């Protein structure tokens, strides 16, 4: 009889996990830092833009309003001042502001509007009325640039 060969089991060493190269960790850290820097810069520029718009003075397109009664006629041109944030709002709400101005002009005393104090009071009351009837605080000033009064009474 012949001898059977004895099989020996050969154990192989366990495979070591592949080590990540140091370069990929450095790349990851660099990419993270870049994303953070870009994010902070974008936020900073966005906030600065808002501050700039807040401080910007914007005047609406002048609007003319006329009013005639049996005793007198008045014509006035007015514009409103807002900040840069609300420039588009002022343009789109021009008709509403014109109606409010016309109502205030109808209720005002024409003789009082001829004095500087009376005109200042009128401008302040129109500003308050616009802010009350639209969105409070958006109109900073109402400017009457031209004012014409003619009396039909002899």
List the one residue out of 131, 52, 60 whose CA is nearest residue 85: 52
- Choice between 132 and 135, residue whose per-residue pLDDT is larger: 132
pLDDT one-digit tens code per residue, 62-98: 999 999 888 889 999 999 999 888 888 888 888 999 9
List the one residue out of 55, 67, 63, 104 whose CA is nearest residue 80: 63
Dump the DSSP string for 75-122. Answer: EEEEEEEEEGGGHHHHHHTHHHHHHHHHHHHHHS-HHHHTSHHHHHHH
Residues 70 and 91 in one domain: yes
Using the predicted structure, report yes or no on whether residue 102 has a pLDDT greater than 90: yes
Q: Is residue 113 part of a domain?
A: yes
- Which CATH number belongs to the domain containing residue 67 in this structure? 3.30.479
**Contact between 90 and 56 (Cβ < 8 Å):** no
**Domain assignment of residue 127, given as a range:** 57-151
Residues 130 and 72 in one domain: yes
| pTM of the predicted model as reported, rounded to 2 decimal places | 0.62
Using the predicted structure, report yes or no on whether residue 151 has a pLDDT greater than 90: no
pLDDT one-digit tens code per residue, 106-118: 999 888 999 999 9
């Amino acid at each position: 009889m012949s001898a059977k060969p004895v099989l020996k089991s050969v154990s192989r060493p366990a495979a070591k996990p592949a080590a990540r190269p140091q370069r990929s960790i450095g790349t990851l850290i660099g990419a993270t830092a870049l994303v953070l820097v870009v994010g902070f810069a974008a936020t900073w520029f966005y906030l600065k833009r808002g501050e700039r718009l807040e401080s910007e003075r914007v005047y609406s397109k002048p609007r003319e309003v006329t009013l005639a009664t049996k005793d007198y006629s008045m014509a006035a041109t007015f514009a409103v001042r807002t900040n840069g944030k609300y420039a588009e709002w002022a343009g789109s709400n021009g008709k509403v502001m014109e109606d409010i101005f016309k109502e205030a002009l109808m209720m005002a005393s024409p003789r009082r509007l001829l004095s500087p104090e009376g005109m200042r009071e009128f401008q302040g009351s129109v500003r308050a009325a616009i802010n009350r009837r639209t969105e409070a605080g958006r109109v900073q000033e109402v400017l009457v640039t031209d004012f014409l009064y003619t009396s039909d009474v002899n």
